[in-house]
Chains A and B, each alone.
Chain A
């Protein structure tokens, strides 16, 4: 049943997505692709739309995927499932808040989880950047125009801080990329 699948799939995302929105993207990708709900292509659009619309990206994606599979109820079920673990775990944390912050076992687990999550995010970022101009899994199709845009955007995203300038905001980068897309393609 699709509602149950959506609920369990996004409950899994909600339970294991440590470290914020970008950490959740590898998980959401896993779940969504393994159920065959949307293609990698569509998911990329969905991530972009979630970036551009207000609110936590994870919630946006859950609503989006849920709606695409089973309408309003699907959206509701997926959103509830992704939010519920965070809500529940936070409530439990409130009861043991002070002792938890001093617990060395807890701190030790956190100290390996943080770099692990960072590594996952980095890997997914690299794969998704590469897939924008190079077909990794298929025939190895290569798109020079997309590479051109990617290089420009990467320069805009990573160079300003090197020269001590203020970082370009994610929203700005997306707007610029959309304009470049219309101009170049």
Chain B
């Protein structure tokens, strides 16, 4: 019971003090769960990051579920996951209550017009970071460019496809690559 409470409180803390999304959260999770609490090792943290990046959903949720499960099974994973979601949920619920009227104020409106310019740049900068860490081989680069162009086309011409279609195509391509390379029995 104590460990469940400890998991919950620790992840509430992590959830409450990290701004800017999942990648910012990873370092805070590592600081708390590897360095301070020693719940998992550094290697585990690396592995969970890889899995978190390659499974759907918020990365922080994946980490919380993993660490919670390691410590106290299914109940532990629930305690940690609820813990990390709770602050977001509470803060947004409170803020969104008065934000609708908030946006009518002239100063706030202008501030948000400024912020609108920043959000796109932040997203581009996230993509740039990912490109930097990517293997610069022909296939990934081609997939990247094609996916970007497809998404741009969908957006600009309001086509009836969605991002999910592109993701499914990429996954099928990955399977096809495996099928071809698998037959040659070479290592990837």
Contact = CB atoms under 8 A, between A and B. Distances in A.
B120 A131 contact: yes
B77 A83 contact: no
Interface string A7-37: 0000010111111111011110010001000
A104 B188 contact: yes
Nearest to A57: B21
B57 A120 contact: no
Contacts of B188: 104, 107-108, 111
Give the size range of A's interface with the partner.
35 or more
Nearest to B88: A55
Interface in B105-132: 107, 110-128, 130-131
A174 B56 CA distance: 27
A95 to B, nearest CB: 10
A97 B182 CA distance: 22
Interface string B39-60: 0000000010011111111111
Given A50-B92, A86-B62, A133 B147 contact: no
A21 B126 CA distance: 10
Contacts of A141: none
A176 B138 CA distance: 38
A158 B140 contact: no
B1 interface: no
A94 B119 contact: no
A44 B34 CA distance: 36
B89 A63 contact: yes
Interface string A143-156: 00010011001100
Contacts, number: 389
B161 to A, nearest CB: 9
A105 B175 contact: yes
B127 A118 contact: yes
Contacts of A53: 19, 88, 91-92, 95
A119 B169 CA distance: 13
Nearest to A26: B163
B153 to A, nearest CB: 9
A133 B114 CA distance: 10
Contact of B143 (A89, A112, A121, A124): A112
A21 B22 contact: yes
B59 to A, nearest CB: 5
Interface string A49-65: 11111111111100110
B117 A133 contact: yes
B56 A14 contact: yes
A48 B123 CA distance: 11
Residue from B103, B114, B181 having most chain A Cβ neighbours under 10 A: B114
Interface string B148-188: 11111001101000111011011101110110011000011
A154 B162 CA distance: 28
A121 B89 CA distance: 25
A2 interface: no
Interface of B: 15-25, 47, 50-62, 65-66, 69-70, 74, 77, 81, 84-85, 87-89, 91-93, 95-97, 99-100, 103, 107, 110-128, 130-131, 134-135, 139-141, 143-152, 155-156, 158, 162-164, 166-167, 169-171, 173-175, 177-178, 181-182, 187-188
14 contacts: A27-B164, A49-B99, A55-B88, A76-B89, A87-B65, A90-B66, A94-B66, A100-B51, A106-B54, A113-B171, A115-B140, A122-B127, A125-B125, A181-B115
